[in-house]
A and B are shown apart, each in its own frame.
With several copies, the nearest count.
Chain A
């Protein structure tokens, strides 16, 4: 059913449709509305899963870990400081091959404290072994949830999945979201039936100590599984399309890229804004398109190379930076094309940190003034008093 609702509500509905047995979450802006909606569903008897109020994000992650290990389908949501506090548990969960799904309402990291959006939080978890997806709009964020469970719970995969949606920009935005019926979701997503879980009939031990003669193999397998997940992510996106008629891309998505020479690369809600920008530039005769990274882990190098065969320049727009190095996405893209036959130029921009608004006109300006330049880690829309000399686009 199509509804004009908040992004958080859309996610809450879809999570409920996935029939999680156990939900545990700790409040943190801007994730709060998702769990508030879920607890209201529970209070009204609509949600049959358990809703556990915990004492911290560390506790929340641990509770869902335990639940999933006991054969339940589990769910949590968090962001920023909460995600960092979960860190130890998240790495552990991937290593234990527990296909939990969590939603991250992406937000900046302290200090200074900021409740506003950027992608720094998710980036911290990029080595964790989790599958990491980024949603462009609220429909996609909602639709990603059944897909995520289906990907993670695949017996050949068994990995947790993190769905990233921009805090406030998506979570608090009211727009149309089509929520499928329970029956339809049930048809798409079968119940979770793991081969191994904590039960007295088959009393296995989970979470052993691995001495040096054993540990490295588990890591190799985790990496191999991440590679394997690439095909599955695409397959399940197609399946979803078949069932629900909606497709937001597989590992990636493209927009007007066919003959594009300069291509914006980005993740999350900025894709929407970029679409307007690209239409605008196209109208002025620019050969420009968008490459949307939907799966950040596994990182779809092959797919990216495939669609960029004819592209001359990538303009990477990202909402995070690895201090002392540079923008994460631009680094990974440069590496993607390193040593390849076709090596498009990669320009890198950092923008939107801590909720800095990203107006189309700044994007158009950076598109224009960056032509012919070599650019890395260029901060966009800094206050002029702080921006370094020669900044391309300031406030």
Chain B
């Protein structure tokens, strides 16, 4: 007799799967006018913005380039830049 096959998965293991390459545009956090409102952190559907102390950045291993952070940043401190392919 052998154990049933592993059918559960480990918390957060999706980080093994990099979605960064899906991106066609990339958010560039300018760290310029940032008011530390954390909106970019909150609105990212891919949970990939982090930072603090007026410095935020996207984890480009995962950022899909949706542009929401840039669109919602109240002070336009994020630019979307086309990825060169």
| Chain A interfacial positions (CB closer than 8 Å to B) | 95-97, 111-112, 155-158, 196, 203-206, 208, 217-218, 221-222, 224-225, 228, 231-232, 386
Contacts and interface: CB of A to CB of B under 8 A. Distances in A.
B8 A217 contact: no
B5 A231 contact: no
A386 B8 contact: no
A313 B3 CA distance: 35
Interface in B1-50: 1-5, 7-11
A221 B5 contact: yes
Contact of A205 (B1, B2, B3, B9): B9
Contact of A206 (B3, B4, B8): B8
B4 A221 contact: yes
A205 to B, nearest CB: 5
A158 B11 contact: no
Contacts of B11: 203-205
A208 B4 CA distance: 15
Interface residues on B, range: 10 to 19
A231 B9 contact: no
Contacts of A231: 1
Contacts of B1: 156-157, 228, 231-232
B2 A96 contact: no
Contacts of B4: 97, 156-158, 221-222, 225
A132 B3 CA distance: 20
A155 B3 contact: yes
Contacts of A97: 4, 7
Nearest to B9: A205
A112 B1 CA distance: 22
A156 B3 contact: yes
B9 A208 contact: yes
B2 A156 contact: yes
A3 to B, nearest CB: 35
Contacts of B3: 155-156
A204 B1 CA distance: 25
Which of B2, B10, B11: most chain A Cβ within 10 A? B2
Contacts of A205: 8-11
A196 to B, nearest CB: 5
A354 to B, nearest CB: 13
- Residue among B2, B3, B7 with the highest chain A CB neighbour number at 10 A: B7
A386 B9 contact: no
23 contacts: A95-B7, A96-B7, A97-B4, A97-B7, A111-B7, A156-B1, A156-B3, A157-B1, A157-B4, A203-B11, A204-B8, A204-B9, A205-B9, A205-B11, A206-B8, A208-B7, A208-B9, A217-B5, A218-B5, A221-B5, A224-B2, A225-B4, A386-B5
Nearest to A231: B1
Contacts of A96: 7
Given A112-B7, A156-B3, A386-B5, 13 more contacts: A96-B7, A97-B4, A111-B7, A156-B1, A156-B2, A156-B4, A157-B4, A158-B4, A205-B10, A206-B8, A208-B9, A221-B4, A222-B4
B10 A204 contact: yes
A158 B2 CA distance: 11
A353 to B, nearest CB: 13
Contacts of A155: 3
A232 B1 CA distance: 10
A140 to B, nearest CB: 26
B12 to A, nearest CB: 9
Contacts of B10: 204-205
A158 B7 CA distance: 12
Contacts of A208: 7-9
Contacts of A95: 7
A221 B2 CA distance: 9
A203 B8 CA distance: 10
A47 to B, nearest CB: 30
A209 to B, nearest CB: 10
